[in-house]
Amino acid sequence: MLVTAQYTKRQATWFRHHPLADPTRTHTIHARIAGGTQFSQKGFPELVTFIQSADLVGPYGASFLIMWFNAAAYDVFMSWQLSRPVRWKALPLVGLCVIASVVYGTLRLRAITTETAKAAKLSVAAVQGDIGINLKWNPVLVRHNLQAYQDLTKQADGAVLVIWPETAVEPWLADDLEQVPRGVLPSLNAGQFFIFGARSFSGHISGPDFKAFNTAFLSDGNGRILSHYHKQVLLAFGEYLPFAGILSKLPGVPFADGFTPGKGPHTLDLPGSIHVAPLICYEDLMPGIARAFVKAGEANLLVNMTNDAWYGRTVAPWQHARLAQWRAIETRRTLLRVTNTGVTAVINPEGEIIESLPLFAPGVLKTEVALMDGETPYVRFGDWFAWGATLITLAVFLTGFRARP
């Protein structure tokens, strides 16, 4: 445990101080080189260009090229080391594929940048309450924590959509709620809309029909509930116990019911054909869920509501944000991340983090996000490349196995 803690601490220190690891520091270097010009957080431009193939093949295309290049380079190096005939054919071939990927990425970035500029915009406010794990879920501090979000929301004037993160509201709420409780609803205008995270339930708390959910609610400015979404993919051991049905039958084994997964991609819809895909917690790390929201629910905005306070001051919050970038590229949708302690950010359809709030600091990110439509090949056809590569690998393996004497 001590070794792990020390390693994690060293990782966090490196991430905070190494200029290539922290996107903010990277942009500072870029700005100085360019003569001090300030511009948005776009990470590593070369890397963003290289991974644009995600709208064709998902995250597996770039990963495949990296693996293929490493394998080919290793084979050449080891052949040279062992004085064996060097097989050069793979390296030029993978090099051509990398060049093709970069060319494709360059062209797609230009096209998507033009489409994004022409797309309809929605004014949003993402509220980051910065409620630490030492404050969260403390019954004595429930009112204090809620007040922090309500006070910050006063800065959201002018935003059409105000969003609080996962479980920002700590008291349990009925999943068939019709009106946001008076003590929960922040001060909003009649024309605003409000999405917030909370734990909800259905049935009687002590009855066999009781179910608990991790929920995102949508209300209008007066607090009238318009819709809700239950998280589909639950966190093992955090939100449910694997094999609970079997373990509960064993004598002497303590057992507690967990959360219930929601059914299917259900968008939160606003007037004007605005369809919001709420991705709760780590659902923004799963390509299939975002893809289903866009394909079946016609979502034109992805919103990740999460609480990453558990990670503390480590690299993990930024790792979560960087992995989520793929969903924006795969679907060509804006991804708005609304978090408790960070990273609250806007990721544009090109996959660039263009705005963010500081970690572990309360704040409100007010911005306009592009509402994109249409389906990418990856949304339409899914993991065709990954499954194709798997089938080809199996075929090669079986052919080689049968050919052995």
pLDDT of residue 42: 47
Choose, from 231, 239, 283, 350, the residue flagged as catalytic.
231
Mean pLDDT on 184-189: 93
- Matching CATH number, 121-237+256-376, of 3.30.460.20, 3.40.1190.20, 3.60.110.10, 3.40.630.30: 3.60.110.10
Q: Which of 255, 303, 256 is nearest to 279 (CA)?
A: 303
- Name the band, by pLDDT with cuts 50, 70 and 90, for residue 253: low
pLDDT of residue 241: 77
pLDDT of residue 36: 27
Q: Is the pLDDT of residue 287 over 90?
A: yes
Choose, from 239, 281, 283, 350, the residue flagged as catalytic.
281
Residues in the chain: 405
166 is annotated as an active-site residue: yes
Burial of 103 (0-12, 13-18, 19+ CB in 10 A): exposed
Helix (H, G, I), strand (E, B) or coil at 239: coil
281 is annotated as an active-site residue: yes
- Name the band, by pLDDT with cuts 50, 70 and 90, for residue 398: confident
Rounded to 5°, angle at Cα 347 from 346 and 353: 90
| pLDDT tens per residue, range 57-95 | 999 999 999 999 999 888 888 887 777 787 778 888 999
pLDDT of residue 37: 27
- Name the band, by pLDDT with cuts 50, 70 and 90, for residue 297: confident
pLDDT of residue 254: 63
DSSP-derived secondary structure letter, 331: H
Please report the DSSP string for 164-227 in residue order.
--TT-EEEEEETT--B--TTT-----TT-EEEEEEEEEES-TTSTT-EEEEEEEEEETT-BEEE
Ranking 35-39, 84-88, 171-175, 334-338 by mean pLDDT, the lowest is 35-39
Mean pLDDT on 361-387: 96
Q: Is the pLDDT of residue 21 over 60?
A: no
State what percent of residues in the chain have pLDDT above 70. Answer: 86
Which residue blocks in 43-89 are alpha helix, DSSP H?
45-50, 54-57, 60-81
Choose, from 166, 170, 239, 330, the residue flagged as catalytic.
166
pLDDT of residue 301: 97
For residues 131 and 89, which has the higher predicted lDDT (pLDDT)? 131
- Name the band, by pLDDT with cuts 50, 70 and 90, for residue 250: confident
| pLDDT tens per residue, range 312-365 | 899 999 999 999 999 999 999 999 999 999 899 999 999 999 999 999 999 999
pLDDT of residue 348: 96
pLDDT of residue 401: 67
- Domain chopping of the chain, boundaries: 35-118, 121-237+256-376
| pLDDT tens per residue, range 206-240 | 778 899 999 999 999 999 999 999 999 998 888 88
